Chain A
């Protein structure tokens, strides 16, 4: 297996950090942590196989033995923003709903911030950007519930992105260095930069079982791909080729390179792990288009001149590239020879004969109705 890193969910209520939801995060119960024994085993395997580890934290500080163990392996910590006061090297995750209250209290700046945005936050996106832009160098935005976005919500999203992109252009013209994942990344990319869950990384749940990503664990705990990390590294995932972009007909033809191609969302919305929803594709293309316009505006600016060109596209949904007329249909002939000939008088007579019968029936109905 060619995994490069592993995601470890340290407790059931670990912070959701991308497109999936975790209701346990909002629970006030005692954390249900991964046992130390399981964590030791995972860390050992990661070290042996030179896997980089992403640890997902809950709301509370870990016991000292956990903290010590974690420091023995190359890793990154992903945690709710308030916990970063304890772990200064942590990557902060922030829900858009909590933006105002948390950011006001905090005088710290962050290198990397993960911002989770739900449907009801969309209209507020540009304001949230303005709130955060002095607080961090990079905002990774993840849309939650994108599969439920309506056309009008997508239109609002587009408007908000346009506002943010104009402000970003001003920032860049002013020499500022700030990134917004959904807009900045595509300008820099010349190839796909997807999540690659199940391809480059695997997730270990608190019970030690492995999943393609945390979204699969929280959606259905029986969807594990193996009972242990050791097993996941040894055996291929059943139909794992479908996680690869080569087996994704829509994505393999797409150049919205910044799209994360979330396979969890794919499965949830379309029933297939390799097929994105229409909303995901359209949103990604809106972002792409905004990036294209931004790149065009900035092409005179030093540092932006060498960026890869983003071409214009006539469509918003890359499914259009794949669609073709169906090649076969159920067997149906014309019911006879496919011919036509001039009508003979006899035929007309038959038609009018039937009409006479209908006329009589109409007359009879009328008489019955009026007594």
Chain B
């Protein structure tokens, strides 16, 4: 049997269990050591923390209501602020989750993950490492590093304005030893555009072979940004191809599947809001963390229940029925290059003209099109390389 290898650059990130698990996000704290410029958490607080009682009530509710939560798998996610500030709480919650899933013979015991996205500052501490060792086979940890020191420190700063690059990067080798296939999550805002190429290369140099990078959805973009974005991506494309890095490294900015018209019958929302569940320190449920009070600047929070009374299915209904067509403006529906164009319902809601999730913000439209132009250039040039074996995208679910 021969082995056909698709180059790493063609890798699109495939979530665990193909994105079908139930995702439960505990907002364990609103505190963070950093004050990142683009952070959607607009109301950081040292006092708003989750109690174990709230977490326990949430876990008990979710495990008890099996008819409501019929997914075969679960992702228990811990978020903040900075979640590792509350590692002891997280440890206690995780132990409780494991005990209860096992005690109740719940199917989730056979298919669960603990998920973190962290600024990485506390990654190497003994308490965090103890937790990792204890749960290593069920853990997914993403450290947010934005790229080179100038790019990272332009946004990811301490309250006194000092950059956090050095403090984070010292933990990267340990992280990669423990999670060899980890990917980082890097965010691009207006100020970061000139640093995209060098940042991707820098992260690859650090050993992070899979880089997820996305532009922020918020309205931070200025008229010349699309050209700068395209220019950076083309420079990166040239470097990748000229140095033959495409076999071993991946970056989410390059994707074969973007830039196509969408099937008119494709009416799905971009993300899983409504199918996920976020819970804050008070025990209030939200369809996603972006609808919690600390994430919103212009609109009131959108709760869908709480851990004591359960989910309010009527409040959840709009999120379950949120379709692409109902929220998108007419130009988006007829867009010839719509595939891969992302949106965030939380951001949409916060920027809508009324209190609705059915109004899609299109601040990143021009950047999406710039990305497509750069991708067209990249893939066309790549196919001309002698060692690049073109393989059509596999249909989902089919093993070759």
Contacts and interface: CB of A to CB of B under 8 A. Distances in A.
A250 interface: yes
Contact of A331 (B115, B137, B354): B115
Interface string B362-393: 00000000000000000000000000000000
A335 B75 CA distance: 12
A238 interface: yes
B276 A333 contact: no
User: In the complex, which of the residues A278, A332, A334 has the most CB atoms of chain B within 10 Å of its own CB atom?
Assistant: A332
A270 B303 CA distance: 11
A330 B77 contact: yes
Contact of A326 (B276, B314, B326): B276
Interface string B11-55: 001011101110101000000000000000000000000000000
Nearest to A268: B314
Contacts of B352: 239
A331 B15 contact: yes
B16 A322 contact: no
B138 interface: yes
Contacts of B326: 247-249, 274
Interface stretch (B147-155, B177-185, B215-223): B177-185
Nearest to B210: A333
Nearest to A252: B326
A322 B357 CA distance: 16
B268 interface: yes
Interface in A245-266: 247-250
Contact of B358 (A272, A276, A327): A272
Contact of A319 (B13, B117, B317): B317
A330 B25 contact: yes
A332 B140 contact: yes
Contacts of A270: 314-315, 317-318
A278 B315 CA distance: 10
A325 interface: yes
Interface in A275-292: 275-279
Contact of B321 (A147, A249, A336): A249
Contact of B359 (A239, A275, A324, A332): A239
Q: How large is the interface on B (under 10, 10 to 19, 20 to 34, 35 or more residues)?
A: 35 or more
Given A272-B318, A319-B317, A335-B138, A329 B358 contact: no
Contact of A271 (B20, B138, B315, B353): B315
Nearest to B75: A332
Contact of A327 (B137, B212, B271, B353): B271
Given A330-B77, A331-B140, A332-B75, A239 B314 contact: no
Contacts of B21: 329, 332
B98 to A, nearest CB: 14
B181 A271 contact: no
A323 interface: yes
Contacts, number: 138
B321 A329 contact: no
Contacts of B13: 331
Interface in A326-361: 326-337
Contacts of A250: 317, 321
Contact of B181 (A277, A324, A327, A333): A333
Given A326-B275, A335-B179, A336-B180, A278 B317 contact: yes
Interface in B265-285: 267-272, 274-276
B268 A324 contact: yes
Nearest to A237: B354
B322 interface: yes
Contacts of B139: 335
B314 A277 contact: yes
Contacts of B358: 239, 242, 247, 272, 274
Contacts of A249: 267, 321-323, 325-326
B226 interface: no
A335 B137 contact: yes
B247 interface: no
A273 interface: yes
A94 B115 CA distance: 58
A308 to B, nearest CB: 26
A214 B162 CA distance: 56
Nearest to A281: B317
B23 A333 contact: no
A269 interface: yes
A331 to B, nearest CB: 6
Contact of A329 (B23, B136, B274, B325): B23
Contacts of A273: 356
26 contacts: A242-B354, A249-B323, A269-B314, A271-B318, A272-B357, A273-B356, A323-B320, A327-B269, A328-B19, A329-B16, A329-B21, A329-B276, A331-B13, A331-B15, A332-B16, A333-B140, A333-B179, A334-B16, A334-B113, A335-B113, A335-B136, A335-B139, A336-B137, A336-B179, A336-B180, A337-B181
Interface of A: 147, 238-239, 242, 247-250, 269-279, 319, 322-337
The list of the 8 closest CB pairs from A to B, nearest first, reads A326-B272, A326-B275, A272-B318, A329-B19, A332-B140, A275-B318, A249-B321, A335-B139
